[in-house]
Structure 1
Amino acid sequence: MKKRLLCSLLASLSFASHATIVEMQTSQGTIEINLFDQQTPKTVENFLSYVQDDSYNETVIHRSIDNFVIQGGGFTFSDTLDPITTKPAVINEPVFSNVKGTIAMAKLGGNPNSATSQWFFNMANNSGGSAALDTQNGGFTVFGQITAESQETLDKIVALVHCSEVPLVGITQAQCSDENVVISNENLVSIQSVVVLSDDPNSAQNLTPKENTLIDNVEVTPPQSSDSSGSMAWLLGALLLVVPRLKRAK
């Protein structure tokens, strides 16, 4: 099996070189994220391109699984979940491990280089075991780390009532199976804004990313072309079971 020489080279760089800090304001609280600019440059550039053109504003958290992930960055809500406009897919950069407190890119199954706009927060150590996110599909690119204080916001989202995998506010578990239930944007966990707080090079000094060592013996997959279908990213099937039951309030 080929070694992932690029990943080893990137991981060997001085980590205290640079880290952009972004602030994600959600309807459940604030999430502050330190981005790994130098170690995952293409992924950070891609993420920031969506931040800079306000693509993430007014999107919703469409997937939440306790002790696994919280996923967003792909949809707004009108009468149903509407995919946002995506940009060309970004090359995979599986340098760091999918441990709790990190943010990584979602992508299409069977295509390591298909990530576009969607991301997920790791709510547990998902590097190996049954999740195997450090090796599955070429490894999922971790491109940032949240602050300790931000974990509280993620925990609040997980604690909400979930209809299938969608976290909802003001909805009971019994209403999830009610075909007549009516929701509005206020029932969904929204991302109100994502802004850059700082690009100070010293902001990376106290971060403690864990290197992805499991990927070393995984076959390298050459970059592939990908179209806008990347907006329907990784493991969305369960979501489709609940979306038809959600109706916008008139």
Structure 2
Amino acid sequence: MKSVFLFAASLLAAASAWAGPKVELVTTLGTLEVELNEQAAPATVANFLRYVDDGSYEGSIFHRLIPGFVVQGGGFDSAFTPLPTYSPVVNESNNGLKNTAGSIAMARTQDPNSATRQFYINFSDNNSLNGGRNSGYTVFGQVTAGQEVLEKIANVPTGMNLTLRARDVPKQNIILERVRRLEPEVATPNDPTPQDSDTPVERDPLKP
């Protein structure tokens, strides 16, 4: 699948570029980690973390899945009942972040400022979602671990769902079992620091 190769390259390139809050998404198919860019999308990140911290993402599902495009979730429980929302968040799509493979962004209606709790993860570079000015879809983070899990998700069969009256709904529930902030790593006394040596420390780009 084309999206697999795009995601692998995007993951490596983006992981070392951001240094923001990290969130763990434990699904029934495995664990994803996302790093949020609160400098580029402060309102959107604060909005997303509000749902993370209140625990309401736990038990929600990915209800829309289009291989090579996106997987979308966070808005319904396993019975396809809509979950409560806070007030919509202002659109921040004009922040320089693009809908590239592995990025996480907010779903919304035709109203640019209508995003609440539903988010999606791009399987590939989706330039059509970027838009101009503030008419695009706000990217606010990047998957930094779990490429193999996204591949599993992309391969789940989909079909028509009469409850949602929608196509492209996974035939098996992909449930967010646990969603939590990850604590930042704290250096120990044995960790090398710039003060220990004149030689710059080279970090693994896949680690925080």
Q: TM-score, normalised by structure 2?
A: 0.73
Q: Secondary structure at the match of 1:44?
A: helix
Higher helix share: 1
The aligned counterpart of 1:145 is 142
Give every structure 1 segment of 4 or more consecutive aligned residues whose post-TM-superposition deviation is greater than 4 Å. Answer: 15-18, 199-202
- Does the aligned pair in 2 maintain the 1:18–1:199 contact within 8 Å? no
**Residue 58 of structure 1, CA deviation:** 0.3
**Residue 74 of structure 1, CA deviation:** 0.3
1:201–1:63 Cα change, 3 Å:
farther
1:143–1:99 Cα change, 3 Å:
same
1:206–1:141 Cα change, 3 Å:
farther
My pick for the range that moved more, 46-55 or 158-167, is 158-167
The aligned counterpart of 1:73 is 74
Q: Secondary structure at the match of 2:88?
A: coil
The aligned counterpart of 2:82 is 83
**Which amino acid in structure 2 is aligned with residue 45 of structure 1?**
A
Q: Secondary structure at the match of 1:138?
A: coil
The aligned counterpart of 2:170 is 167
Q: Taking every aligned residue pair, what percent have the same amino acid on both sides?
A: 41
Higher strand share: 2
**Residue 198 of structure 1, CA deviation:** 2.7
The aligned counterpart of 1:8 is none
1:143–1:106 Cα change, 3 Å:
same
The aligned counterpart of 1:113 is 113
The aligned counterpart of 1:198 is 183
**Which amino acid in structure 2 is aligned with residue 90 of structure 1?**
V
Instruction: Work out the CA distance in 2 between the residues paired with 1:157 and 1:61.
Output: 9
**Residue 70 of structure 1, CA deviation:** 0.2
**Residue 160 of structure 1, CA deviation:** 1.4
Q: Deviations over 1:180-236 (max 9, x none)?
A: xxxxxxx3110001100135699xx958xxxxxxxxxxxxxxxxxxxxxxxxxxxxx
Instruction: Work out the CA distance in 2 between the residues paired with 1:150 and 1:71.
Output: 16
- Does the aligned pair in 2 maintain the 1:19–1:200 contact within 8 Å? no
Q: Secondary structure at the match of 1:83?
A: coil
The aligned counterpart of 2:162 is none
Q: Secondary structure at the match of 2:23?
A: strand
Instruction: Work out the CA distance in 1 between the residues paired with 2:146 and 2:18.
Output: 23
**Which amino acid in structure 1 is aligned with residue 151 of structure 2?**
D
Instruction: Work out the CA distance in 2 between the residues paired with 1:199 and 1:135.
Output: 33
Instruction: Work out the CA distance in 2 between the residues paired with 1:106 and 1:89.
Output: 11
Residues matched between the structures, number: 165
Instruction: Work out the CA distance in 2 between the residues paired with 1:57 and 1:143.
Output: 20
Q: Secondary structure at the match of 2:179?
A: strand
**Residue 77 of structure 1, CA deviation:** 2.4
1:35–1:140 Cα change, 3 Å:
same
The aligned counterpart of 2:65 is 64
Q: Deviations over 1:161-196 (max 9, x none)?
A: 21231123xxxxxxxxxxxxxxxxxx3110001100
Q: Secondary structure at the match of 1:75?
A: strand
1:18–1:77 Cα change, 3 Å:
same
RMSD over aligned Cα atoms: 2.3
The aligned counterpart of 1:12 is none
Correspondences of 1:32-71 after superposition (within 5 Å): 32-71=33-72
The aligned counterpart of 1:122 is 122
